[in-house]
Structure 1
């Protein structure tokens, strides 16, 4: 049996190594619970309604982040209040508030 490396064997070994690496990285992300890898901002077509609903709930502030299909709701809007505290407002598919959570966890989960 000829054990000399040839181009086909090298290419096959490289492909297998790449697949194993990709699978390992994907599994590690899934097991780590790293939601940042899946975070998607609210699309522009829905953003204004989501921002308006969240700001009405908090009584003002500045929208500093958004997310679609959050683990708790359809939309999540992060609002930074004038005093610097942050509030996450959870909205359903109709942009109705289904819960809020503040920095100090004193928000409600309605």
Structure 2
């Protein structure tokens, strides 16, 4: 009995299944509207100014994330304060604070 054609069929079926699975997962992500897949960090050329403005607003802390073209503003800088609370600072194109949102609800949301 020749098993070569059977192995080829199995290989073709497995390859086709992998392609279909990858396509299904990609389509599901695209349709889910998950904003995390579209988040882009602030470019290096603008990041220093954005981080400085955010740290001035929060009075210190550590920058733990940045995002450009956020749904709320041009720039968003995530700052973790020394007490462990997180504050998202929203900045406009001129690096002016347009709002803050803290996990401890102490920030203002303009």
User: TM-score scaled to structure 1, two decimals?
Assistant: 0.75
Structure 1 distance, partners of 2:29, 2:76, is: 22
- Matched with 1:58 is 58
Deviation per residue, 1:30-79 (Å, 9 max, x gap): 43231111111101000110000000100000100000111111100000
Q: Which moved more, 1:62-71 or 1:27-36?
A: 27-36
Does residue 39 of structure 1 match 2:36?
no
CA RMSD of aligned residues (A): 2.6
Q: Which runs of 5+ in 2 are unaligned?
A: 1-11
Q: Secondary structure at the match of 1:89?
A: strand
Structure 1: gaps spanning 5 or more residues: 1-9
Report the equivalent of 1:5.
Answer: none
Describe the shift of the 1:108–1:27 C-alpha distance in structure 2 as closer, same or farther (beyond 3 A): farther
Which range is displaced more, 51-60 or 24-33?
24-33
User: Normalising to structure 2: TM-score of the pair?
Assistant: 0.75
CA–CA distance in structure 2, aligned partners of residues 41 and 29 of structure 1: 20
- Cross-structure match for 1:3: none
